A = this chain, B = another copy of it.
């Protein structure tokens, strides 16, 4: 019987699918690689897991070099095991997906990050490794998650109009949803609450501003779409 740690182990990477939303467009953070393999190709941000590091610490380390620090939603997505997913050798990838409001972050200016940029999910370039599979799974997860868990506000400012939330849902799900039924459903669920404030218009003030209801009982929210 072999002793512990005599086994050769596959390498272990963490890869991230970072979603951002801005101006009615859902986008993903991609890196333009400056080294082989896939030099000059696009990939998801990632890194090898350090010996003492937890998954979320690795996520933080990856994000810090690419984005400023701030609050963000992170959730484990899936672990990928295709033996040939990395041409350099066997690498298992544990993936996370993140939701950020690009307005609250900035793509960091360091030399490690001058290659990072947002890409419309509807116009994705070819991706290196098996990152297309990872991206597809992340988008699928986001689309199903948003139906039964209030994650939409993670992508918006602290205060937002009903129309902005509505458009976010239509954009992510890529369907049209009746504005009035959406409004009723969202308000009935107590997903968000009215702040009492109004957004400033040019001459006067117009739509009500809402914010996420932190006291929401989690499973009060379920959106059906057909």
Contact = CB atoms under 8 A, between A and B. Distances in A.
Contact of A9 (B48, B55, B81): B48
B51 A10 contact: yes
Interface in A1-42: 4-5, 7-12
Nearest to A80: B55
A121 interface: no
B11 A9 contact: yes
Given A81-B54, A83-B52, A83-B54, A12 B92 contact: yes
Contacts of A79: 55, 76, 79, 94
A219 B182 CA distance: 21
Given A5-B89, A88-B4, A94-B92, A10 B83 contact: no
Contacts of A49: 9-10, 92
* Interface residue range, chain A: 20 to 34
Contacts of A8: 51
Interface in A43-76: 48-52, 54-55, 76
Nearest to A58: B81
Contact of A5 (B11, B76, B81): B11
A86 to B, nearest CB: 9
A172 to B, nearest CB: 18
A4 B12 CA distance: 11
A78 B76 contact: yes
Given A7-B50, A76-B78, A81-B94, 13 more contacts: A5-B11, A5-B89, A7-B48, A7-B51, A8-B51, A9-B9, A9-B10, A9-B12, A9-B48, A10-B51, A54-B83, A55-B79, A76-B79
* Across the A-B interface, the 3 shortest Cβ-Cβ residue pairs: A55-B81, A4-B88, A79-B79
